[in-house]
Amino acid sequence: MFENVKMPEGLNPEVLEHLMNPQNYGKLDDADGVGVALDEKTKEYVIFYTKLDGDIIKDVKFATNGCQDTVVIGSMFTQMIKGNDTEYANTAVEKMHDKLGQLSPQQQICADIVFTAFLASLKNYENRQNGEDEELHVFKMKESCESTAMPKDEENE
């Protein structure tokens, strides 16, 4: 679709496609596992829904109130793991890093929040399999998406 578009430096056509047409975005009503990764400072979150058949990820969706980087990474990651087993999905995190190339520290946190939400969905599935009545599982992020604060102007303190 974007073959004739001049790509900005460092942006590949796959990333642009996911930016313009995110895949697997929304809610999965019959999910076996629901996980949330939450940045308490910014209140940014990713909700990850997984539908499993044994270890096979039959369907997957995600939702976020995050930035475009989070949406792109969520879209690319869900496309990569859909139809594969959970072991492959865990290695897909490394493959995503290869696809995305060099990330800024903030983009890395966007990627981490997506991957963490996925892991939370697997934890929710495991907890449900063990008889726990858990609607969803939440992991709080250690690093924040919050942009680096500007030094305060002493006159405005």
Q: What digits encode the pLDDT tens for the residues 32-68?
A: 999 999 999 999 999 999 999 999 999 999 999 998 8
10 Å CB burial of residue 36 (0-12, 13-18, 19+) is: buried
The reported pLDDT for the residue numbered 146 is: 66
Please indicate whether residue 121 or residue 6 has the higher confidence score (pLDDT): 121
Provide the CB-side half-sphere exposure for 153 (13 A, CA): 2
Confidence of residue 124 (pLDDT cuts 50, 70, 90): very high
The architecture that CATH gives domain 13-140 is: Alpha-Beta Complex (3.90)
| Domain parsing of the chain, residue ranges | 13-140
Please indicate whether residue 18 or residue 1 has the higher confidence score (pLDDT): 18
Name the average pLDDT for the chain.
Answer: 85
Residue ranges in the chain assigned as alpha helix (H):
13-20, 68-81, 86-100, 105-129
Give the H or E element holding residue 5. Answer: none
